[in-house]
Chains A and B, each alone.
Chain A
Amino acid sequence: MKHTISVLLQNKPGVLSRVTGLFSGRGFNIESLCVAQTLDPDVSNLTVVSRGDDNVIEQITKQLHKLIDVIKVVDITEKEYVEREMVLIRINAEAHTRAEVLRVIDIFRGKVVDVSAKSYAVEITGSASKIKAVIDILRPIGIKEIVRTGIIAMSRAAKTK
């Protein structure tokens, strides 16, 4: 099963390679990885998406926590959470498809960020399923290039009663 794990870690040189080395060394898979600084410049947040049965996911979270520079590990899949990914797509936009592309982008609330005579570059943000949907629709029109950020995720706030 797919799990999204959110990790807080010390923002120090080499920390990312400790995390990726752990995954490769122990045969865990990484489907997506995203890391950036938090409000505290000494702390980074890392979101990793991995697949495995319960035992594997338990080992992943424990092994991550065992790294000296890791502050907190949360498997947010177990909770209510929001996930987002951004994708930049350069798509064929010849005369006969330009309008169609713009319609699709509009439906998915995307933005055109670069225009040329034969293509558009568009920016789309959303959950993994939305990104998949938009790619599926644009693919027949002709995707020339695609760049994805990887998934970032955040737990939803506890509901007050």
Chain B
Amino acid sequence: MGKITGSQAIVKCLQEEGVKTIFGYPGGAVLDLYDALMSSDIKNVLVRHEQGAVHAADGFSRVTGEVGVALLTSGPGATNGVTGIATAYMDSIPLVILTGQVPQPLIGNDAFQEVDIVGITRPCTKHNYLVSKLEDLVPTIREAFHIAKTGRPGPVLVDLPKDLVASSLNYPVKTPVQMPSYQPTYVPHPVQIAKACRLIMAAKRPVLYVGGGVILSDANAELTELAQKLNIPVTMTLMGLGAFPGTHELSMGMLGMHGTYTANMAVAECDLLIAVGSRFDDRVTGKLEDFASKSKIIHIDIDPTSISKNVKVDIPIVADCKNALTSMNLWFDKESNFDLSEEAARHKPWFDTISDWTAKHPLSYTDSDTIIKPQYVIEKLLEFTKGEAIITTEVGQNQMWAAQFYKFNQPRHFVTSGGLGTMGYGLPAAIGAQMAFPDKTVIDIAGDGSIQMNIQELATAKQYGCPVKIAILNNSFLGMVRQWQELFYDRRYASTTMDVTPDFVDLAKAFGAVGLRATKKDEVIPVIKEALATDNTVIMDFKIEKEEGVYPMVPAGKATTEMLLV
């Protein structure tokens, strides 16, 4: 084979990695790459802002499990992508971000649209590269994909100087990536598995606390098998929603700051906490000393740094969640001499306690006959999508109400910025999800504040025929911050009143989308029905109760049993 250009080689490499869709925005430093892409079968989704490109690639990855790819130009193109990269990093989402860079002789000269993006993104990528030799170009991109999707996944950035991309090279034959200094542990240690299983057999009040790691390793079936086999109640983190069926009788819903009363009480009272693919985040634990303080802790995670970082654990298991759960299920089937159904019956008093908690303080809200309650909107969205929609969210109250009231029965259906909490995430992520599944209903549950952070992506949705539905829970406030001000700052609503917002119905029309509005409760269902029946991008503007709060709520720094209830 003769020589090809660097840009052709990159495109060929992307094809080898199975990439069919990328999200990006062109510019001077990536002109060659865009030119080469135009002659390929890879579809570039032209976003309206680079942050949108990275979020869309991220949403695409979360619903498919594949590596999401974004292509940005140098300088401001790259820096605009940083929030998206940090978002993916915090939630362990596999992405490859290709950025253009000025030609090598100009690097360090403060050239036009030059920025040290490798330096800037070092703390918010799993790894990053500035390619400096032509022969490294293709192997580096292969390594980037390998690193992004293996171990604890994450974003990897490859910075591509323009002169290298424009040079000619012989395309290297694909060989397996060899990285002696990077060897994630996938297989659990059998001794640790046996220890964990014996502890589970001995527990009287066990709880499974599962996070996004279960979804990332596609271990939901194994998790469900374990929970059912041993009759263990399950609580999920925000990132873990969908890892276990939300409507299952063993599900206690979400735990943490806005978790259910039952889940938080169960964690406080359990005698064994089995953490799977979760990382004891401060929004989950509250005051650390009081978190699961009566229990032994088993922690399964592929990232050793997550183990005993915040909470000391008794049995660490470094492994892929799927492998670890499979091994545990096998152990119970083959090694244990106990009668599992009898063992499960032992948990009955525990379940009675749990049922009491739920009966006393179920997840609820005070409904109204006229005013639209945000929780009611979510319940109706759940009802009319039969719980099968892909839900993305913005960040704040909208995100928490979605997490509480939409019951996710399948993994990869809830797409939200959990770790970084990025407002403006939901719309571009919904576009990415819709590009992956054109026939699915994709709904961005938004607030009137968040939606304005990346509203420009409505044009992207229109350009690519993405019929995403945006449900704005419009309270004319930055609602979550307002709620904190109400509770902790004497109702002094400093800079949280959104007195001037666009007319979202007119705005939708201006973009060529459909705008619908509900101002009274009885208008909610017709709006939802019409939106779901419309084969176009739709904004639903729900004028909700202005000062509705998200409850239960654990004030920051308090123990998770100190919940403020409805």
Give me the interface of A with B, judged by CB distance under 8 Å: 9-10, 13-14, 17-18, 21, 25, 55, 58-59, 62-63, 65-66, 68-71
Nearest Cβ in chain B — how far from A54, in angstroms?
10
Q: Report the Cα distance A62→B122, complex, angstroms.
A: 18
Q: Does B419 contact A (CB under 8 A)?
A: no
Q: Report the Cα distance A13→B303, complex, angstroms.
A: 25
Q: Is the CB of A14 within 8 A of B122?
A: yes
For the complex with contacts A17-B122, A68-B179, 12 further pairs of A-B residues with Cβ separation under 8 Å are: A18-B122, A21-B123, A25-B123, A55-B312, A58-B308, A59-B305, A59-B309, A63-B305, A65-B304, A68-B147, A68-B181, A69-B181
Q: Is the CB of B308 within 8 A of A68?
A: no
Nearest A-chain residue to B307, judged by Cβ: A62
Q: Report the Cα distance A65→B180, complex, angstroms.
A: 12
Q: Does B502 contact A (CB under 8 A)?
A: no
Interface residues of B in 171-197 (CB under 8 A from A): 179-182
Chain A contacts of B119 at CB under 8 A? 14, 17
Nearest Cβ in chain B — how far from A116, in angstroms?
39
Q: Most chain-A CB neighbours within 10 Å: which of B118, B126, B127, B181?
A: B181
Q: Is the CB of A55 within 8 A of B308?
A: yes
Q: Most chain-A CB neighbours within 10 Å: which of B122, B126, B147, B305?
A: B305
| Contact partner, A21, options B122, B132, B147, Cβ 8 Å | B122
Nearest Cβ in chain B — how far from A127, in angstroms?
31
Nearest Cβ in chain B — how far from A151, in angstroms?
24
What is the total of A-B residue contacts with beta carbons within 8 Å?
36
Nearest A-chain residue to B132, judged by Cβ: A13
Q: Report the Cα distance A18→B309, complex, angstroms.
A: 20
Q: Report the Cα distance A10→B118, complex, angstroms.
A: 17
Chain A contacts of B132 at CB under 8 A? 13
Q: Is the CB of A71 within 8 A of B180?
A: yes
Nearest B-chain residue to A63, judged by Cβ: B305
7 contacts between A and B (CB under 8 A): A13-B130, A14-B119, A21-B122, A55-B312, A62-B304, A66-B303, A69-B181
Nearest Cβ in chain B — how far from A71, in angstroms?
4
Chain B contacts of A18 at CB under 8 A? 122
Chain A contacts of B303 at CB under 8 A? 66
Interface residues of B in 272-307 (CB under 8 A from A): 303-305
Chain A contacts of B182 at CB under 8 A? 68
Nearest Cβ in chain B — how far from A62, in angstroms?
4
Nearest B-chain residue to A70, judged by Cβ: B181
Q: Is the CB of B127 within 8 A of A68?
A: yes
Chain B, interface residues (CB within 8 Å), range: 10 to 19
Chain B contacts of A10 at CB under 8 A? 181
Chain A contacts of B127 at CB under 8 A? 68
Chain B contacts of A70 at CB under 8 A? 181
| Contact partner, A66, options B179, B180, B304, B312, Cβ 8 Å | B304
Nearest A-chain residue to B123, judged by Cβ: A25
Chain A contacts of B309 at CB under 8 A? 59
Nearest A-chain residue to B305, judged by Cβ: A62
Nearest Cβ in chain B — how far from A19, in angstroms?
11
Q: Is the CB of B181 within 8 A of A66?
A: no
Nearest A-chain residue to B126, judged by Cβ: A68
Q: Report the Cα distance A110→B180, complex, angstroms.
A: 42
Chain A contacts of B147 at CB under 8 A? 68
Nearest B-chain residue to A10, judged by Cβ: B181
Chain A contacts of B308 at CB under 8 A? 55, 58
Chain B contacts of A21 at CB under 8 A? 122-123
Chain B contacts of A55 at CB under 8 A? 308, 312
Q: Report the Cα distance A9→B181, complex, angstroms.
A: 8
Q: Report the Cα distance A69→B180, complex, angstroms.
A: 9
Nearest A-chain residue to B147, judged by Cβ: A68
Q: Report the Cα distance A138→B323, complex, angstroms.
A: 62
Q: Which 10 A-B pairs have the closest CB atoms?
A: A62-B305, A71-B181, A68-B127, A25-B123, A62-B304, A68-B182, A66-B305, A63-B305, A21-B122, A21-B123
Nearest Cβ in chain A — how far from B143, in angstroms?
9
| Contact partner, B118, options A14, A59, A69, Cβ 8 Å | A14
Chain A contacts of B312 at CB under 8 A? 55
As a 0/1 sequence over residues 360 to 404 of chain B, the CB contacts with chain A under 8 angstroms (1 = contact) are: 000000000000000000000000000000000000000000000
Chain B contacts of A13 at CB under 8 A? 130, 132
Q: Report the Cα distance A66→B304, complex, angstroms.
A: 8
Interface residues of B in 146-183 (CB under 8 A from A): 147, 179-182
